[in-house]
Structure 1
């Protein structure tokens, strides 16, 4: 009489590796369960959990990370695709050990803001209102265009500005907009929105460091002009 081999789908749902990971998180799973998720399927002879357990009896995690595809394919039940899945998983882990975020640009002056933004907007015929979210070291963690206005007007509400700042856990913000006329001299509306942003930031604990207006090869700093 042929022996019955239990399949993954024969297990109760809450005992299947993938469902357990979704419910409890990856840290709750054993090594063999994690490997089973990577391999996805077993064979006619054994389910993927049994296959994973057998592999880890032959090789521990460190050994498994070091053997090449040819050696992996010598394990019964491991063919080229599964060997590639295992190798890719450990290669990602190795790269994570040496991974470094790209250096974040630090903003030290209105000139830094101008040099970053001007090349992106010099040909624009409409006003763009751009927000820079900064960390406690004044490094940029997010840059986003908040609104696009008409040829001579751009209406911005503090709600949109601080919604992004909160989402990014910003310590400070700088806002920037362009004057398509080429003259960066602030309008009355520019000064008013700056004051509203300062007031809102004071309430929310997020500092508006500057509002920089960019013209044609020139810029204006609300901070330097004493409006902040």
Structure 2
């Protein structure tokens, strides 16, 4: 391989965006094996599963070590680089103003889209529509027995938030609300009305998609 075509030199000359997934992975791996160049090893790893690069997110260090040419050092380097990328993409600004459902989707998508369990959150807003905080209310399939109004509104009252957004993820990736999703939402809206806390939306996060109850005129 010509010097200028090697991943590291290519990055230095043209920037990281010019590199393929295999070339980026090759830089992390640094060396190949006696039988494979580092780029061939990187391509082998990425093509080992039909999901491509995405399958690396869930694979363990131990499973990576089962791949010929990958030891503890390379496996931990791969997982550390992936985790750093995930943390950067999900890092939150200190003050974030919400103008529409898209703003919520952008803010939370990376931290929710790959979860294997359904998590129901409430997002507390101040009078400027800035996020105060978010609270995990329940884990598991959303239903009225798991989501009690007391748990939903207690933190809002404590933190003087008079408006909240409901949010949960669908691990399946399908963002269409179930009947139970709708029933829970309408129940919480009624409870919020009684105590003066407005439920301004319920947003479902899928894999790269979102569903807003407000945009779809359910709220």
Query: If the TM-score is normalised by the length of the shorter chain, which range does it land in?
Result: 0.5 to 0.7
Residue correspondences, number: 125
- Does the 8 Å CA contact 2:117/2:171 hold for their aligned counterparts? yes
Q: What TM-score do you get using the length of structure 1 for normalisation?
A: 0.53
Distance 1:103 1:118, change over 3 A: closer
1:21-170 aligned within 5 A: 104-149=95-140, 152-153=141-142, 155-170=146-161
Could you list the runs of 5+ residues in structure 2 that have no partner in the other structure?
1-92
Q: Tell me the SS of whatever aligns to 2:133.
A: strand
2:200 aligned with 1:209? yes
Q: Which structure is larger by alpha-carbon Rg, 1 or 2? A: 1
1:196 aligned onto 2:208: no
Per-residue CA shift, 1:55-108, capped at 9, x if unaligned?
A: xxxxxxxxxxxxxxxxxxxxxxxxxxxxxxxxxxxxxxxxxxxxxxx8521111
Which deviations, in whole Å up to 9, do the C-alpha atoms of 1:154-195 show, x marking residues without a partner? 531111100111111102000100011100100000000110
Partner deviation per Cα, 1:7-36 (whole Å, 9 max, x = no partner):
xxxxxxxxxxxxxxxxxxxxxxxxxxxxxx
Is 1:223 equivalent to 2:214 in the alignment?
yes
SS in structure 2 at match of 1:194 = helix
| TM value normalised by structure 2 | 0.55
In the alignment, the residues of structure 2 paired with residue 169 and residue 142 of structure 1 have an alpha-carbon distance, to the nearest angstrom, of 12
Counterpart CA distance in 1 for 2:142 and 2:116 is 11
- Name the residue aligned to 1:180: 171
Partner Cα separation in structure 1 for residue 99 and residue 174 of structure 2: 24
RMSD, matched Cα: 1.4
SS in 2 for 1:146: strand
Runs of 4+, deviation exceeding 6 Å? none
- Measured at CA, do residues 153 and 130 of structure 1 come closer, stay the same or move farther in structure 2, by a change above 3 Å? closer
State the secondary structure of the residue aligned to 1:145.
strand
